[in-house]
Amino acid sequence: MIEFTLWDILRNLLLAARWTIVLSLIAFLGGALVGMPVTMARISERGLARRLAGAYIAFFQGTPLLVQIFLAFFGLALLGFDVPPLAAAALALTLYTSAFLAEIWRGAIEAVPKGQWEGARSLALTRFQQMRFVILPQALRVGIGPTAGFSVQVIKGTALASIIGFVELTKAGTMIVNATFDPFRVYGLLALFYFALCYPLSLAAKAIEKRMAHH
């Protein structure tokens, strides 16, 4: 057995934390990108688009993230790819994030009073212009806090990528446990690492929400 000092454990966790951050960024940015058209479909004037977006959101909010990751992993393999775990995890987390962000953003847009739409329409703006210049700037105030808050869920969600073998924080922690037989200390440290990543974001989200509520 190799001797593992506390520093060895910390160093390995630090190195692995990079991958947690990379995966979180991919998922969050990808999720935002996919989430925008889903939001627009969800509040579209066309019934079919609304229903499809609704079903999309219901699926990703109504099934476990772990199962979604498995589906991406096995589904990509079915298409004949030799799937790297990062790709499967990134795909699943992106779609998962997009569904939740779409729901948050729909709520934010619907929180804008109806009179704003009517006012914009009375200025002969097109629906796109109403959205772009009148509704979205106001919805942004409502939506930005919960959006920042959801980034914490994304970071925590990336821990499940360990199950399909992607070496991020949690997987690294498990590997270190297998070498050191010290699960108490390693999983405790692992929790602290996640806390260090998530807590500042939680605080920021809370501060943003408070600030937006005051205006």
Q: Which residues contact 73 (CB under 8 A, 6 or more apart)?
A: 83, 85, 88, 89, 92, 164
Looking at beta carbons only, is 131 or 163 nearer to another protein?
Answer: 163
Contact residue for another protein among 129, 202, 208, 209 (CB under 8 A) = 202
Select from 36, 44, 141, 182 the one that contacts another protein (CB under 8 A).
Answer: 182
Which residues from 123-162 bind another protein, rule CB under 8 A? 152, 155-157, 159-160, 162
Q: Taking CB under 8 A as the rule, does residue 64 contact another protein? A: yes
Number of residues that bind another protein (CB under 8 A): 40
Q: Does 81 bind another protein (CB under 8 A)?
A: no
| Residue 10 in contact with another protein, rule: CB under 8 A | no
Min dist. Cβ of residue 167 to another protein (A): 15
Burial 110-145 (b: 16+ CB within 10 A, else e): eebeeeebeebeeeebeeeebbeebbeeebebbbbb
When the beta carbons of 121 and 185 are compared against another protein, the nearer one is 185
d(CA 56, CA 115): 29
32, 170, 172, 176: residue in contact with another protein (rule CB under 8 A): 170
Closest approach, Cβ 183 to another protein, in A, equals 4
Angle formed at CA 115 by CA 113 and CA 119, multiple of 5 degrees = 135
- Closest distance of CB 34 from another protein, Å: 19
Asked whether position 96 contacts another protein by CB under 8 A, the answer is no
Tokens of 165: 């073998």
65 or 134: CB nearest another protein:
65
188 near another protein (CB under 8 A): yes
CA distance 212 to 48: 34
Distances 151 to 48, 97, 108, 114 between C-alpha atoms, Å: 30, 9, 17, 29
Tell me: does residue 195 bind another protein (CB under 8 A). yes
Which two three-digit tokens encode residue 80? 């004949």
Question: Which pair of tokens denotes residue 35?
Answer: 């989430």
